[in-house]
Chain A
Amino acid sequence: MRFTSEFLESLRIAGDAIRTNKLRAGLTTLGIIIGIVTVTLMATAIQGLKRGFVNSISILGTDVLYVQRLDWFINSEAEWRRENKRKDITYAQFRSLARQLALARAAAPQVDTGQPVKYKNRTSSSVHIIGTTDQFQFTGGLTVADGRFLSGADSEGGRPVCVVGAQTATNLFVNENPLGQRIYISGHPFEVVGVLEKQGDFLGAFSLDNQVVIPVEQFTTLFWHDPDYTIQIKAMSVDALEDCREEVRGIMRKIRHVEPGQDDDFSINQQDAFLKIFDKVIGTIATAGLFITSLSLFVGGIGIMNIMFVSVAERTKEIGIRKAIGAKRRTILLQFLTEAAAICIMGGAIGLAIAWPLTLVMAHFMPARMSLSVVGLAFLVSLLTGVVAGFLPAWRAARMDPVEALRNE
Chain B
Amino acid sequence: MSLIRLDKVSRRYQMGTETIHALREVTFGIARGEYVAIMGPSGSGKSTLMNLIGCLDTATSGAYVLNGVNVSEMDDNQLAEVRNKEIGFVFQTFNLLPRATALHNVELPLIYAGMPTEERRRIAIETMTNVGLADRMSHKPNEMSGGQRQRVAIARALVNRPSILLADEPTGNLDTKTGEEIMALFEELSSQGNTIIVVTHEEDIARHARRIVRIRDGLIASDEPARR
Contacts and interface: CB of A to CB of B under 8 A. Distances in A.
B34 interface: no
A376 to B, nearest CB: 31
Contacts of B54: 324
Nearest to A327: B112
A402 to B, nearest CB: 5
B80 A326 contact: yes
B95 A321 contact: yes
Nearest to A1: B114
B113 A324 contact: no
A328 B77 contact: yes
Given A321-B97, A403-B56, A328 B80 contact: yes
Contact of B76 (A320, A329, A403): A329
B81 A328 contact: yes
A326 B56 contact: no
Nearest to A3: B114
B114 A325 contact: no
B111 A5 contact: yes
A14 B32 CA distance: 40
Contact of A2 (B80, B85, B91, B113): B113
Contact of A326 (B51, B83, B116): B83
A319 to B, nearest CB: 11
Contact of A406 (B56, B85, B108, B160): B56
B61 to A, nearest CB: 18
Interface string B45-72: 0000001001011000000000000000
A6 B112 contact: yes
Interface in B69-124: 76-77, 80-81, 83-85, 89, 91, 95-97, 99-100, 108-109, 111-117, 120
A325 B108 CA distance: 8
A331 interface: yes
Contacts of A403: 51, 56-57
Interface in A53-70: none
Interface of B: 51, 54, 56-57, 76-77, 80-81, 83-85, 89, 91, 95-97, 99-100, 108-109, 111-117, 120, 156, 160
20 contacts: A2-B112, A2-B114, A3-B114, A5-B111, A321-B97, A322-B97, A322-B108, A324-B54, A324-B83, A324-B89, A325-B89, A326-B85, A326-B109, A326-B112, A326-B113, A326-B160, A328-B112, A330-B77, A402-B56, A406-B95
Q: What 9 pairs across the A-B complex have the smallest Cβ distances?
A: A326-B84, A2-B114, A326-B112, A328-B80, A325-B109, A328-B77, A402-B56, A321-B95, A16-B99
